[in-house]
Amino acid sequence: MQIAIPLYDGFTALDAVGPYEVLSRLPGARVTFVAHEPRPVSTDNRMLRVVAEAALRDVPSPDVLCVPGGVTSTRFAADPELVTWVRAAHKRSTWTTSVCTGAIILGAAGVLDGLRATTHWIDREELASHGAEVVSDRVVFQGKVVTAAGVSSGIDMALALVARIAGDVVAQAIQLSIEYDPQPPFDAGALGKAPPEAEALVRAAIAARQAAAAA
């Protein structure tokens, strides 16, 4: 089973690495990170580069594609090469998935027309402008299209996907292998759960990151 994760400058690392860490443990799976050209790709904060080993054109028909989000996803939702690749890969895929604002790129490719979909809580309005019926669920299955909410939700999405592909026991084994028994120190991970002053910090930080990414 070939799994492709397309990277683009400004992607968020955990959006990609969370699903990778789960899906790469699926027996027989081969995960390939792809980009416009094979090269190291910078994340949103420019503190990390992840290597795309192949070009988009080298992996035209993955069984599974998983599009991560990032501070630049709106820009790349208007990138003809990436969007054309997503649209073509989706036609032949078994599963088409996104994490966070990766859903905006799926939306731009027409994948989400008329479907329920989720994304990072701060980008719900933008996703709705791409034809999706946006919901606040953490993971949304619509036929072969699966969207996940912000950043860390890709881990939950990938485990649920493994259960569909290979059964509950394999998914449970992968969950145990990555010791995913979450114990966050706060119950602040969703909009409405965090205190207002924390939400204000996030909105300011994301605005600053988007401004920096656009500079």
The set of catalytic residues is: 100
> Rounded to the nearest whole angstrom, what is the least distance from the CB of residue 65 to a second copy in the complex?
15
Residue 87 or 209 with smaller CB distance to a second copy: 209
Residues contributing to the site for a second copy (CB under 8 A): 12-14, 17-18, 20-21, 24-25, 30-33, 40, 45, 47-51, 53, 100, 120-121, 138-139, 149-153, 155-156, 159-160, 163, 168-173, 175-191, 193-195, 197-199, 201-202, 205-206
What DSSP string runs through the chain?
-EEEEE--TTB-HHHHHHHHHHHTTSTT-EEEEEESSSEEEEBTTSS-EEEE-EEGGG-S--SEEEE--BTTHHHHTT-HHHHHHHHHHHHH-SEEEEETTHHHHHHHTTTTTT-EE---GGGHHHHHTTT-EE---SEEEETTEEEE-STTHHHHHHHHHHHHHH-HHHHHHHHHHTT-----SSS-SSTTTS-HHHHHHHHHHHHHHHHHHH-
> Rounded to the nearest whole angstrom, what is the least distance from the CB of residue 213 to a second copy in the complex?
14
Residue 205 or 214 with smaller CB distance to a second copy: 205
> Rounded to the nearest whole angstrom, what is the least distance from the CB of residue 171 to a second copy in the complex?
6
Residue 20 or 83 with smaller CB distance to a second copy: 20
Residue 49 or 87 with smaller CB distance to a second copy: 49
Residue 24 or 142 with smaller CB distance to a second copy: 24
- Closest by Cα among 153, 188, 215 to 12: 153
> Rounded to the nearest whole angstrom, what is the least distance from the CB of residue 60 to a second copy in the complex?
19
> Rounded to the nearest whole angstrom, what is the least distance from the CB of residue 80 to a second copy in the complex?
27
